[in-house]
Structure 1
Amino acid sequence: MGIQGMELFAVAVVIVLFIAVLKQFGILEPMSMEDGGDLDFELSTVRHQPEGLEQLRSLTKFTKKELQSLYRGFKTECPSGLVDEETFKLIYSQFFPQGDATTYAHFLFNAFDLDRNGAIRFEDFVMGLSVLLRGTVREKLNWAFNLYDINKDGYITKEEMLAIMKSIYDMMGRYTYPLVRDDASIEHVERFFQKMDRNRDGVVTMDEFLETCQKDENIMNSMQLFENVI
């Protein structure tokens, strides 16, 4: 995704980077015919045991075979059944060796750590992934808003959006061509707020975010790009 499009906001970046990392580490590889075994049988091999297969099917938009495939990939990378923040950062740092992915990984980790216990469970992982890959446009936008609302107070501030943008530039923007200027992230945040902050009160609410995004054709198109990756 081009740097020039980031001023709209980084919804597509969130999805592209996360899916790319999953594919890089084999978590989204197609499931072979031999992988049709019972997920519940596998649960005894990890310290954290996910919810039952049927419950996960009801909470997500994945089939039984898709959940089995996702679980095997997750277990391969995370034998304990849990991913702590340092491990999550390590995964991203390996995928972006020329940049600093630490801060972006921190924000993304918090978006997946639903119960705020400092670890991503398999349940957290598949529920978030279900939204990103199979959710409605509104569900995907709600997820993205939650990512940008760093302190979870129901508003996106310029400071929060700037922190997100800087984390993306630190991870990948400095190695684009042409080179990104140091003040580019500030300019993009200003354009973001000009577009999103409808009542000019200095913050973006969920309603403003949803209304503006749903009227933007480019954003709507980006929401549909990854629905069939698994």
Structure 2
Amino acid sequence: MCSVTYALCIVLIKQLGADFSLTESAEDEFEISFVCHRPDDLDILQEETEFSKKELQFLYRAFKNECPSGVVTEDVFKLIYSQFFPQGDSSIYAHYLFEAFDTNGNGCLSFKEFVAGLSLILRGSIYDRLNWAFNFYDLDKDGFITREEMMKIMKSIYNLMGKYVYPSIHDDTPREHVENFFQKMDRNHDGLITIEEFMESCQKNIFENLRIFQELH
């Protein structure tokens, strides 16, 4: 899911109008001065995120150009993704992603919420990214991931991809992925995945993949 969310965040940035490479080298290419678009708490956002001041200015200009009101509604959020996935139905996944970004739950995505989420996903530590991913899966925010929640997420991802992907997706494919997910992460087999189980399993997989990569080289 993290890779899917990462890709969709890049899609969102580009659709907002920002040709934003997310690298420090690219930052030097921009000489930006638009005080009228500068949010009052730009300096605070720089301290709270992993973006530079120029990157925040650039993102804010793109954000305001697309959303003059200063907020993104869920309908606009869904529309952005639907334009990039015409063969599938991106609305359900976009709904879950919107709720993950909308941290105060008011139904509108502010610039502060937008860049805070992007910073975690794109430049956060492994712990930050995994914590964000767990909260994304935990749809009812009760501190556990259930099979039902995971199934909803998996179905939304396959709906996003559409019916014409290759190889073709069978009806049982989402359920198979959910069962595989729980076999790896549900250590005590109680049908619930805690944040501790999630973190431990994900980090173990990361280290195992790194070990295999090093052995191959």
What TM-score, normalized by structure 1, do the two folds share?
0.83
| Contact 2:93–2:153 (CA under 8 A) maintained in structure 1 | yes
Q: Distance in 2 between matches of 1:28 and 1:111?
A: 24
Match of 2:147 in 1: 158
Partner in structure 1 of residue 53 of structure 2: 64
Mapped to 1, the partners of 2:172 and 2:62 lie a distance apart of: 39
Amino acid at match of 1:110: E
Q: How far, CA to CA, are the matches of 1:88 and 1:213 in structure 2?
A: 29
Q: Secondary structure at the match of 1:156?
A: coil
2:33 to 31, 36, 41: 36
- Are the counterparts in 1 of residues 30 and 54 from structure 2 also a CA contact under 8 Å? no
Q: Distance in 2 between matches of 1:96 and 1:202?
A: 33
Name the CA distance, whole Å, in 2 between partners of 1:70 and 1:97. Answer: 26
- The count of residues paired between Structure 1 and Structure 2 equals 204
Deviation at 1:213, TM superposition (A): 0.2
1:173, distance to aligned residue in structure 2 (A): 4.9
- Aligned residue number for residue 63 of structure 2: 74
Distance in 1, Cα, partners of 2:37 & 2:209: 38
Counterpart of 2:4? Answer: 13
Once residues 167 and 51 of structure 1 are traced to their aligned partners in structure 2, the CA distance between those partners, rounded to angstroms, is 37
- Paired with 2:153 and 2:91, the residues of 1 have a C-alpha distance of 12
Unaligned ranges ≥5, structure 2: 22-26, 211-217
> Are the equivalent residues in 2 in contact too, given 1:36–1:65 (CA < 8 A)?
no
Matched, 1:182 2:136: no
Aligned letter for 2:18?
A: I
SS at 2:87 equivalent: coil
Structure 1 residues 110 and 101: alpha-carbon distance in aligned structure 2, compared to 1, 3 A threshold: same
Q: What code does the residue aligned with 1:33 have?
A: F
| TM-score between the two structures when normalised by the length of structure 2 | 0.88
CA 1:146/1:105 → structure 2, altered by over 3 Å: closer, same or farther?
same
Unaligned 5+ residue runs, structure 1? 1-9, 44-49, 222-230
Q: CA deviation at 1:134?
A: 1.3
Runs of 4+ in 1 over 6 A off after TM superposition: 218-221
Structure 2 distance, partners of 1:109, 1:218, is: 30
The answer (yes or no) to whether the contact 2:88–2:159 under 8 Å persists in 1 is: yes
The answer to whether the Cα contact below 8 Å between 2:46 and 2:53 also exists between their aligned partners in 1 is yes
Q: Which residue of 2 aligns with 1:54?
A: 43
Aligned to 2:24: none
Partner SS for 1:153: coil
